[in-house]
Amino acid sequence: MQYVSTRGAAPVLGFADVVLEGLAEDGGLYVPQSWPTLNKDRPRAYAELAASVMQPFVEPDFSADTLLSLCQQAYSTFGQPQVVPLVEIEPNHYLLELFHGPTLAFKDVALQLLGLFFDNILSSRSERITIVAATSGDTGSAAIDGVSKCKNVDMVILYPNGRVSDVQRRQMTTVQSPNVHAIAIDGTFDDCQDLVKAMFNDTAFRNTHRLAAVNSINWSRVMAQIVYYVSASDHFTTPIDVTVPTGNFGNVLSGWIAKQMGTPLRHLVVASNSNDILTRFFENQTMTVSGVTPSLSPSMDIQVSSNFERLLFEMNDRDGSATAQQLQRFRESGTFAVEPNQYAQWIAPNFRAGRCDDAQTLDTIRDIYATSGTLIDPHTAVGVHVARQHMKPDIPMVTLATAHPAKFPDAVEQATGIRPGLPEHLVDLFERPEHTQLLPLDLGTVQKFVNSVAH
Ligand SMILES: *Cc1c(COP(=O)(O)O)cnc(C)c1O
């Protein structure tokens, strides 16, 4: 499989190079040259299914045997034998629980595997990379857990001081690996992201340290997430609808790819909180930037959804320069619209959308607890609220449960009066010693720190 950039001006690469590269040289995102078709005979067990779904994307860099053993290793870290169990919460409405990984958010599904891909590729090439990433909480903890065992990786994660939850911070700062550094920045998440972008844009710095990315622009993350859409659909004999609590559009894009590969998915329902740029786009075909308001579902508090670029490239019939021009206009004016024929061909048959504010989020957590006895986290609640607006008789609805309720205990307690407890492997999280430093919001200081820890 070869990969092309969505902006059409970067070298065509194979899978292993795409994993290390992250962002393409022209600023675009890598996508496979074509979408493979799913095997008709699919294994049920999750690791086996994962290897079968992903094999065409990783050839020839990973053999079937190697891929299967990496998948078995990655998913053995999950607390449930089914890895992503499906649970009915009301008639014909199911949760796909994606939060049984080590850090309790769906990002573990991809990042446990990405760490193994890095290690495997880098040790066979005798190379080393440095990961720098910004996090609003979930990406950092999942990346640290997934990558901390890698021998060939140094990692610096920047988080906004005082703006991640206690559970999220401790998941990052209590990891003992000497190659992992969680750094508090005196600023917001956007400030942290700007520092990371500036380090990537400093070509000399980027090349010296071989900077690599673990955010959802990394193709392997999108790829690993395709599997659970196939797994969910394989529980049913008829097509299903899936609702996805959405931020950067990475997760729901994986669902769209699963559909391209032949998974019987009818609609993908994009669920936003009050930061609803995507829902507004699906309603009026125009993408317009506005400010970000903090919500009870912080991992979905986004201004622009970076992975939308991969869908836009398809909507432009895979014309990279048209895509690059459209994005350029978007950056300059803060807005762009798609043509009616693009909407009719790509959006209308595949996507629906809806929004859920904080009051509705709390109501939904309370209601689901009252009617089913299940505690759900605020991100999942956004999904459940929007899913209920889109349910059709005879079409099973699957809502993706993206975080464990114990990861966001304050909102759950506010809604239900019950404070959800951490699972066994994290019960002593609040007794573990923390290792972190506070750095000022200053590029030179942060680069000096990266210099001092990168090998
Ligand atoms: C990251 C995250 C999301 C958003 O996922 P995207 O792939 O960015 O759309 C939703 N819920 C939780 C709990 C997350 O951690």
Give the tens place of pLDDT for each residue, 317-369: 999 999 999 999 998 999 999 999 999 999 999 999 999 999 999 999 999 99
pLDDT at 290 over 90: no
Q: What's the one-letter identity of residue 351?
A: F
Tokens at 33, concatenated: 């040259």
Q: What spacing in Å lies between the alpha carbon of 137 and ligand 1's midpoint?
A: 10
Cα distance between residue 446 and residue 453, in whole Å: 11
pLDDT at 305 over 90: no
Strand 2-5 versus strand 30-32 pairing type? antiparallel
Closest CA to 157 of 134, 138, 176, 136: 134
pLDDT at 125 over 90: yes
Q: What's the one-letter identity of residue 175?
A: V
Tokens at 99, concatenated: 């939060």
Cα distance between residue 266 and residue 272, in whole Å: 19
Q: Give the total residue count for the chain.
A: 455
Report the pLDDT value the prediction gives residue 188, as an integer from 0 to 100.
86
Q: Is 392 annotated as catalytic?
A: no
The distance from CA 214 to its chain's CA centroid, rounded to whole angstroms, is: 10
Cα distance between residue 23 and residue 9, in whole Å: 12
Q: What's the one-letter identity of residue 404?
A: H
Q: How many C-beta neighbours within 10 Å does residue 326 have?
A: 19
- Scanning 272-344, the segments in alpha helix (DSSP H) are 277-284, 308-315, 320-333, 340-342
Work out which ligand 1 atom sits closest to the CA atom of 302. Answer: 8
Cα distance between residue 3 and residue 10, in whole Å: 10
Report the pLDDT value the prediction gives residue 120, as an integer from 0 to 100.
96
Q: How confident is the model at residue 149 (pLDDT cuts 50, 70, 90)?
A: confident
Q: How confident is the model at residue 430 (pLDDT cuts 50, 70, 90)?
A: very high
Q: How confident is the model at residue 442 (pLDDT cuts 50, 70, 90)?
A: very high
Per the prediction, the chain carries an average pLDDT of: 95
Asked if residues 287 and 336 have their Cβ atoms less than 8 Å apart, the reply is yes
What percentage of the chain reaches a pLDDT higher than 70? 100
Ligand 1 in contact with 379 (CB < 6 A)? yes
In the chain, what are the domain boundaries?
Answer: 86-105+219-416
pLDDT at 22 over 90: no
DSSP H or E segment with residue 361? helix 358-372
Report the pLDDT value the prediction gives residue 276, as an integer from 0 to 100.
94
Q: What is the largest CA-CA distance in the chain?
A: 59
Ligand 1 in contact with 295 (CB < 6 A)? no
The residue that leads in pLDDT, 119 or 201, is 119
Q: What spacing in Å lies between the alpha carbon of 326 and ligand 1's midpoint?
A: 25
Identify which of 30-39, 189-198, 303-312 has the greatest average pLDDT.
30-39
Q: What number is the average pLDDT over the span 376-394? A: 97
Q: What number is the average pLDDT over the span 93-97? A: 98
Least confident of 54-63, 190-199, 376-385, 440-449: 190-199
> Which CATH number is correct for 86-105+219-416, 3.30.300.20, 2.40.50.100, 3.40.50.1100, 3.50.50.60?
3.40.50.1100
Kindly name the residue from 107, 149, 197, 407 that is annotated as catalytic: 107
